[in-house]
Every structure is written in structure tokens, then in C-alpha cells.
Structure 1
């Protein structure tokens, strides 16, 4: 019970305060309660009870946001003062009321989005000063008041409130830009993570083979070190870029193939035909995922007769990559599909609606066709 009272203490206090206020206002005849209108009285009482209870219920939060609360109270005071002046002075388009309305709107804009107001404060203040100056001239210094009355009814409010939708639209645009920036940052971070997931097992295996070649004083060792160095440089430095020349990607794939040939003591038939134009670019480390899969799930699953056929061509600015390999259907991968899922996600991020990935598997043949347009 105590826990429940603490949870809803603000509404209980608000109920007591509302009852006392209504009793006091009714006693001084400031308000009159028609006891026959039960439903209407109940609705109005509930409305004001909730309104009065909110500050008590959120008192802890309001204490933390004291500056905002004071600003809001100040704006409400300005609005009440404006309404009172309009009704008390009864002056058409009272200049003081108009000035207070401008102050209210700018204060509200500052409370809703301080950073936006501070960023555009010069433009906001300049616009309202020009509008208020123009209105003051028309209102006070025209040939006659009758001339001013020719203007459309509500001219002052129309003139001074018109900028509000403009600033609101500008604020929405700023929020849209901020969201797009967040999305771009998220995409960049995700791409970096996906690139880092390019399977590192190849480098470890190559280093092991290099150790073996060094122990045997093989003439292949310096060649392996050079190719491995080139591949690591490409992965670390070129892999960070958004796009690289297709020729560099082809060289990377060739080095990968040459190093893999050194690993195996079995014959593997590997062909790589490529014909691309000069100056063409592509996102780095895309094709290597497919080639890694061909070795890991194809060549390594077969004792002999393994093959990999690759073809990379360009046509009308689009790249077409085809890779086909055989495999042992009985061979099971420990973690199937991670490389392909990585590739699909990267393609969606870099080439949205501008790529086509077709994967076919027939008996012991695995084939992937990838077409990439201009990003």
C-alpha cells in the first residue's frame, strides 16, 4: 500500500490541491458550478486534476530540468500577460501585444531546440525585426488609420506568424539531415566490421607453409614472403578505401591463387580469365569472399580432380564476375554461409538496388554469378 501511495503521490496531492482550489474559487464566486451538469463537471474536474497533478508527479524530473521549467513558466506568463493586455486595453493590433507574441514564439523555439535557435539566431532575429519594423511603420506612420484598416483582418498576426511554418520546416530538415548522418555513420561502421571479418585463416595457413619452406631452405620462400606482404598491405590499407581500381583487385586475387597453389600437394585446376576497362573501380575485398569459399568448401573437400573457374569482365560500366567450382557433397562445413551473408550485406550497403547475386548448386557443382553496376 505504501509503495502504491509513493508511486501515485503526485496525483493524490494534485487531487487535494484541485479540490481546495475549486472550493476557494466557488466561495468567492469566481466560478459557478451547475450541479445538474454532472458529466460536464466530472470531465472538467478530471481535466484540471490531471493538469495540476503533472508538476507534482514529475517533480523529480522537473528539479533536474529547472532551467527548462523556469523558461516554460516565463513563456506562459508572457502569454497570459499578452491575453490580459489585449482584453484590458482593447486596442486593435496592440504593438505591445505583437511584440510579446514574437517574444513568446522565439522563446518557445529556443526551449524546443536550443541548438537550432542558436545556430540560426541571426536569421530569426533579423527576419522578425524587419517584419516588426514594417508592421510598426504601417500601423503607426501610415497616412491614416483608415489606410491601415484596408489591410486584411489579422494582418499583424499573419505577417508575424508566417515565419513559424518556415522555421518549423527548417527544423524538420535539420533533424532529417542529422538522422541521415547517423545512418551514414552506422553504415560506415558496419562496413568496417564486415571488412574486418574477411577470413584470416588464410594468412595463418600461409605463414605455417612459409615456415615449412624456410626450414627446407626452399627457393619458393622469398616469393611467398613477397606475395604475402603484398596481400597483407592490400588488405590493411586498400581494404579501408571505399573503392579501388579493378586491376588491383585482380592482382590481389592472382596472389591469393598463387599462394594457395603452394599450399597444396595435389593438382588443382584453376583458371582466371579477366577483361576489364581502364579506370574502372569496385569495392575492395568483394570477390575474395567467393574465391575463399571455392577453396574452403570445394578444393579442400576433394582428394583430387578439384577445379575453380573464374571470369571477370566489364560491359557498359557494369562488372560481371562468375566463379564455378566442384565439391564433395558429403563434406560438411562447420560454419556454412557466413562469407556469403557477409557479401550480401556489403552489396546491400554499397550497391543498393544496383547489383545481382545469383547462386546455384547442382549436384557437386557450385556456381556464383555477381553483377555490379555503378554505385
Structure 2
């Protein structure tokens, strides 16, 4: 038969033990002259300080452990919140497009619904995971590009080049989509003609580099950093501290973004 002391009683016993330890220390200080003459006093002092040291060390260890656990829980909560902010406006826009497309081109609408469904499933379920395979992220990006090709009624030069012999690298989900979204939102959407988005994804030797270049209308350019990029930067700081670089640059009409992650 297993006998387990209730948590409340354990805390009471522990509190009593700590108080007793302090009282013994006070008695030793106050009656040091008298107690010091007793036989075995030195051994008792050695044992007392050993117990005191163990008790203090145990308390410090538990405090550090609690702080680490609290920090990890805070990080996980923050990451969940940041992930929940990814893509809601994209899905909203695509649903609006679907509404207008159903009567005009039912077959195209069906294709769009299937791809949108795959993206939503990935975003909701796989997006909650700590890591996913690089191949899954690539498929997600390809679906996003295909949906945009269906959406726009204008010629767009879209190139997605992949250079890797291993797509089984594990990586945090929904990383590259923010940079791709920005290329379409601030570039393609505002250009009537000659819009382009060129993407290169390289993965070798436990290192992944995602480069994207797009042109934009200088008159429509906004100097402010959007919430998406702030979101991305914070997620990278939390998951890949000192293992990543994110470089953003632009000329008059061309925007470049490069994300590099090492040590995968």
C-alpha cells in the first residue's frame, strides 16, 4: 500500500522544518559559549551547516527551475500568439475572390477552394507545431503562389528556384510566407504591368537561405515596417537566437529580402 502525503501537509512540514532550522541557528549563536563545551558539539555544528547548505542550495535550484519554466511558458505563449497573426488577411481576401468567381468560372473556383483548403489545414494544424519539414514549407509556398496566379488578371513574372538535395530539414513553420506575402501585397497588387517576384530557396549543410526580390510602385511605397515583419523578427529572435540573419534592402523600385538560418 502506497502512502502519499497530501501536498498541503508536505508544505506545512517543510515550513516547520525551515523554521526549526532557523531557530537552531539562533540558539547556537545565543548559547555558543555554553553549548561549545558539550561533547560532540563540533560534529553537530558540521552537520547543521551541511543541512543548512543543502537546504539553501535546494531552494536556489527550485527558484532557478521555476524561472526557467516560467520563461519557457512565456516564450511558448508568445510564439502561439505570433503564429495566430499569420495569414488572416490573405484568407479573407481569397474568400472574397471566391465569392465573385463561383458564378463566373465554377471549375476554377473549385481548384482555388482545394488549394485554399490545403493552405488553411497546414496553417491551422502544422502551424502549431514546433517544427515541420522544409518540403512541407515549400509546398505551402507553392500553393500560395498558385492561388495568386488564379487571383490576378494580369501577367506576372513569378519564379521559384529551389537548390537543395535535402528537403528533410526541420524548420519552424510559417517563416517564409511573411516575406512572400509582402512581395505580393506591396509589389504585385500595386503594379498594373511588368510585376515580378523572384524567389530562391537554398538548403545545404544544415543551412537554409530564402531570397526574394520584387519590384513595386514607388508612389505606393510605405516606409513603415508592417506588423508581419515585426512578427517575423520576433519569432526568429525567440527560436533562432544568434543563428539567423534577416537582411532587407530596397532601391527606387526594387525590394530585396534575404533570410538565412544556420545550425538546423
Q: TM (normalized to structure 2)?
A: 0.85
Residue aligning to 1:270: 158
Rounded to whole Å, the distance in 2 between the matches of 1:288 and 1:320 is: 14
CA deviations 1:109-135 (Å, max 9, x no partner) are: xxxxxxxxxxxxxxxxxxxxxxxxxxx
Rounded to whole Å, the distance in 2 between the matches of 1:347 and 1:229 is: 27
Residue aligning to 1:307: 196
Q: Which moved more, 1:348-357 or 1:157-166?
A: 157-166
After superposition, the Cα gap between the structure-2 partners of 1:257 and 1:317, relative to the gap in structure 1 and judged at 3 Å, is same
SS of the aligned residue for 2:218 comes to coil
SS of the aligned residue for 2:245 comes to strand
Rounded to whole Å, the distance in 1 between the matches of 2:23 and 2:197 is: 79
SS of the aligned residue for 1:260 comes to helix
Q: CA deviation at 1:219?
A: 1.7
Residue aligning to 2:260: 371
Higher helix share: 1
Contact 1:321 1:371 in 2 (8 A): yes
Of 101, 109, 113, the residue aligned with 1:221 is: 109
Of 175, 182, 199, the residue aligned with 1:293 is: 182
1:39-58 correspondence to structure 2 within 5 Å = none
Rounded to whole Å, the distance in 1 between the matches of 2:179 and 2:215 is: 13
Rounded to whole Å, the distance in 2 between the matches of 1:291 and 1:170 is: 50
Contact 2:21 2:52 in 1 (8 A): no
1:227-246 correspondence to structure 2 within 5 Å = 227-246=115-134
SS of the aligned residue for 1:219 comes to helix
- Work out which structure has the larger RCO, using CA pairs closer than 8 Å and 6 or more positions apart in sequence: 2
CA deviations 1:214-253 (Å, max 9, x no partner) are: 1124321111111010000000000000100111111110
Residue aligning to 1:37: none
Aligned residues: 249
Residue aligning to 1:258: 146
Higher strand share: 2
Q: CA deviation at 1:165?
A: 2.1
Contact 2:175 2:232 in 1 (8 A): yes
Residue aligning to 2:12: none
SS of the aligned residue for 2:86 comes to coil
1:25-64 correspondence to structure 2 within 5 Å = none
- 1:187 matched to 2:132? The reply is no
SS of the aligned residue for 1:162 comes to helix
**Structure 1: tracts of 5 or more residues without a match:** 1-69, 95-138, 140-152
SS of the aligned residue for 2:38 comes to coil
Q: TM (normalized to structure 1)?
A: 0.61
Of 227, 242, 247, the residue aligned with 1:338 is: 227
CA deviations 1:299-329 (Å, max 9, x no partner) are: 1121111000001111211001100000011
- 1:165 matched to 2:165? The reply is no
Q: Which moved more, 1:226-235 or 1:328-337?
A: 328-337
- 1:316 matched to 2:205? The reply is yes
Rounded to whole Å, the distance in 2 between the matches of 1:163 and 1:91 is: 19
SS of the aligned residue for 1:369 comes to strand
Structure possessing the higher radius of gyration over alpha carbons: 1
Contact 1:309 1:324 in 2 (8 A): yes
CA deviations 1:71-94 (Å, max 9, x no partner) are: 999888766666676656x67236
CA deviations 1:130-168 (Å, max 9, x no partner) are: xxxxxxxxx4xxxxxxxxxxxxx9443124312322332
SS of the aligned residue for 1:171 comes to helix
After superposition, the Cα gap between the structure-2 partners of 1:325 and 1:154, relative to the gap in structure 1 and judged at 3 Å, is same
